[in-house]
């Protein structure tokens, strides 16, 4: 596949007259009538229209985008996904079961994965994210069945073709049913082979540039399908190479019972004891937390990725996000896999996060600004990407634009643009730019034929072993 450099160009793009909603410092602000100047994949100017007009016209911009009828926000950050899982979306046998039974049902389908299916399904999931205004995603890809031709490169190929920024998590499962784990043995890999492939992926594809389009994170799947040896060896490799660690943690009471019975401690203490907390670690879910866990996660600066729709869909519970934020923890939001969410809209996930916290803690438990931050600066912080998640000078030119005159935002956009994005059912983004490159225009993908992707995936699912 070769190198994937940050897109660059000597040409400039101007986004003029938009209502910009972004995080400034620690506060979400609405900046009415602002112009954004983009050069070489980054934002070089953000000024009120009156002050920006003359200088912007002098740049000789190759494109001027009229944003007067738009709410303009930083590209959304989805900090946890399983892109291939659009293959088994709304599987009938897995619609009404909790996590462990859900996994056992789906392993029987996922063991038939092949490389073409992974690439197509990943492309569909990425397309859905981009159309919702998401410009960066993490993908936790741990399913490499024995004797399959599945390659992690296929996810990178799909991301590059469609134009999304990606953290590919080289995931792993090494403990199958015969060793007391959850997955069938033929869905696991040899631990030495996993570690060798982690080194290969880092050597070939990781890009540490602040504006990198792709990075490689290392990601054993969970305590119920990975050995303590692999957790430790992966930790050591990641810290030697300066890359992030990722895993699922404290998602359900079943996982908690498994950890207590197998390791003699709950998930977060298990991770602590294996050196798996810190500012280079991010954990998906964190639903079942004690007050001591919350303090430990906040003090260690460990990232937490909240997946509210998936947690509701599987009946896992309500993560204590308001408590985590109050303790100073780093928290982002994510859609999780397409088989446990059945959708890929990050703004919808932020809305659901707000609603769930209010169910648990009352109407003041989480505000619209906090929910917006979870989907932007929160996700960027979890991924240690300090040039993502804001519309500001020096930041990546990752932009999502929503029409104020979309019927889904009518009335609300005039009332409160920030509230409109979080409390309404956000429509498709009208325009999306990643590193200054337009990937969605007029609510349609410009980097792929989304109808063909959908038709091809429908046909594959109808004809294949994934039903």
In this prediction, residue 464 carries a pLDDT of: 86
Answer yes or no: do 183 and 129 share one domain: yes
382, 404, 426 — which closes off a domain?
Answer: 382
Answer yes or no: do 216 and 80 share one domain: yes
Tell me phi and psi for residue 38, to 5 degrees.
Answer: -115, 135
| pTM (whole model) above 0.85 | yes
Answer yes or no: do 91 and 50 share one domain: no
CA nearest to 3, candidates 198, 213, 218, 158: 213
Establish if 466 belongs to a structural domain.
no
382, 411, 428 — which closes off a domain?
Answer: 382
CATH code, 45:
2.30.40.10
CA nearest to 200, candidates 232, 237, 174: 237
Establish if 131 belongs to a structural domain.
yes
Q: At what angle do helices 228-241 and 191-205 cross, to 10 degrees?
A: 20
Answer yes or no: do 147 and 220 share one domain: yes
Q: Tell me how far apart the alpha carbons of residues 243 and 256 are, in angstroms, rounded to a whole number.
A: 27
Q: Tell me how far apart the alpha carbons of residues 57 and 64 are, in angstroms, rounded to a whole number.
A: 9
Is the CB of residue 172 less than 8 Å from the CB of residue 226? Answer: yes
Answer yes or no: do 228 and 370 share one domain: yes
Answer yes or no: do 70 and 105 share one domain: no
Establish if 446 belongs to a structural domain.
yes
Answer yes or no: do 93 and 110 share one domain: yes
Answer yes or no: do 203 and 239 share one domain: yes
Answer yes or no: do 149 and 254 share one domain: yes
Answer yes or no: do 260 and 400 share one domain: no
Answer yes or no: do 154 and 53 share one domain: no
In this prediction, residue 61 carries a pLDDT of: 77
Q: Across all residues in the chain, what is the average pLDDT?
A: 95
Residue 158's Cα: distance from chain center in Å?
A: 15
CA nearest to 382, candidates 330, 335, 329: 330
CA atoms within 13 A on the CB side of 139: 34
Q: Summarize pLDDT for 215-238 with one digit per residue, the tens.
A: 999 999 999 999 999 999 999 999
Residue 299's H or E segment, with its range, is helix 291-300
Least confident of 46-50, 122-126, 241-245, 405-409: 46-50
| Domain, as residue range, for 212 | 76-382
Answer yes or no: do 149 and 121 share one domain: yes
In this prediction, residue 426 carries a pLDDT of: 86
Q: At what angle do helices 115-131 and 153-162 cross, to 10 degrees?
A: 40
Q: Summarize pLDDT for 420-456 with one digit per residue, the tens.
A: 999 999 899 999 999 999 999 999 999 999 999 999 9
Establish if 463 belongs to a structural domain.
no
Helices (H), 301-424: 308-313, 321-326, 346-361, 368-373, 379-382, 412-415, 417-423
CATH code, 121:
3.20.20.140
DSSP state of 274: T
Establish if 460 belongs to a structural domain.
no
Tell me phi and psi for residue 451, to 5 degrees.
Answer: -65, -40
In this prediction, residue 40 carries a pLDDT of: 94
Establish if 121 belongs to a structural domain.
yes
3-class DSSP state for residue 363? coil
E strands, 230-388, are 245-249, 281-285, 303-306, 330-333
Establish if 158 belongs to a structural domain.
yes
Q: How many domains does the chain have?
A: 2
Establish if 139 belongs to a structural domain.
yes
Q: Summarize pLDDT for 75-87 with one digit per residue, the tens.
A: 999 999 999 999 9
Strand 281-285 to 12-24 pairing? unpaired
Within 8 A by CB and 6+ apart from 298, the residues are: 324, 327, 328, 329
Q: Summarize pLDDT for 33-50 with one digit per residue, the tens.
A: 999 999 999 999 999 987
């Amino acid at each position: 596949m070769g190198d994937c450099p940050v897109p660059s160009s000597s040409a400039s793009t101007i986004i003029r007259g938009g209502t910009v909603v972004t995080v400034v410092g620690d506060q979400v602000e609405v900046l009415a009538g602002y112009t954004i100047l983009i050069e070489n994949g980054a934002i070089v100017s953000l000024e009120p229209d009156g002050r920006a007009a003359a200088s912007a016209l002098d740049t000789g911009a190759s494109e001027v985008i009229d944003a007067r009828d738009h709410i303009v926000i930083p590209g959304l950050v989805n900090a946890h996904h399983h892109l291939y899982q659009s293959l088994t979306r709304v599987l009938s046998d897995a619609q009404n079961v909790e996590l462990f039974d859900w996994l056992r049902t789906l392993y029987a389908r996922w063991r038939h994965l092949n490389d073409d299916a992974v690439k197509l399904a990943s492309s569909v999931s990425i397309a859905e994210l981009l159309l919702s205004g998401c410009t960066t995603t993490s993908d936790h890809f741990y399913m490499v069945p024995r004797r399959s031709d599945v390659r992690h490169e296929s996810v990178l190929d799909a991301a590059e073709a469609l134009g999304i920024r990606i953290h590919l998590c080289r995931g792993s499962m090494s403990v199958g049913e015969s060793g007391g784990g959850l997955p069938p043995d033929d869905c696991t890999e040899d631990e030495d082979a996993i570690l060798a492939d982690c080194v290969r992926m880092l050597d070939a594809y990781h890009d540490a540039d602040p504006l990198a389009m792709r990075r490689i994170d290392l990601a054993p799947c969970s305590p119920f399908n990975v050995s303590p040896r692999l957790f430790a060896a992966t930790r050591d490799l990641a810290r030697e190479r300066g890359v992030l660690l990722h895993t699922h943690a404290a998602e359900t009471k079943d996982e908690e019972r498994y950890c207590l019975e197998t390791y003699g401690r709950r998930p977060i203490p298990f991770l602590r004891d294996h050196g798996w907390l810190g500012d280079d670690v991010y954990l998906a879910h964190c639903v079942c937390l004690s007050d001591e866990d919350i303090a430990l996660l906040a003090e260690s600066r460990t990232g937490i990725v909240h997946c509210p729709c998936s947690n509701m869909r599987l009946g896992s519970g309500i993560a204590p996000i308001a408590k985590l934020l109050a303790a100073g923890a780093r928290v982002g939001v994510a859609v999780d896999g397409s088989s446990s969410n059945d959708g890929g809209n990050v703004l919808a996930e932020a809305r659901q996060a707000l609603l769930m916290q209010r169910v648990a803690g009352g109407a003041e438990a989480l505000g619209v600004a906090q929910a917006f931050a979870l989907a932007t600066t929160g996700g960027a912080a979890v991924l240690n990407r300090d040039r993502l998640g804001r519309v500001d000078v020096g930041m990546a030119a990752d932009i999502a634009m929503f029409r104020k005159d979309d019927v889904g935002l009518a009335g609300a956009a005039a009332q409160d643009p920030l509230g409109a994005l979080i409390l309404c059912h956000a429509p498709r983004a009208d325009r999306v730019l990643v590193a200054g490159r337009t990937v969605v225009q007029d609510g349609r993908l410009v980097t792929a034929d989304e109808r063909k992707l959908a038709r091809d995936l429908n046909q594959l699912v109808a004809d294949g072993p994934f039903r």
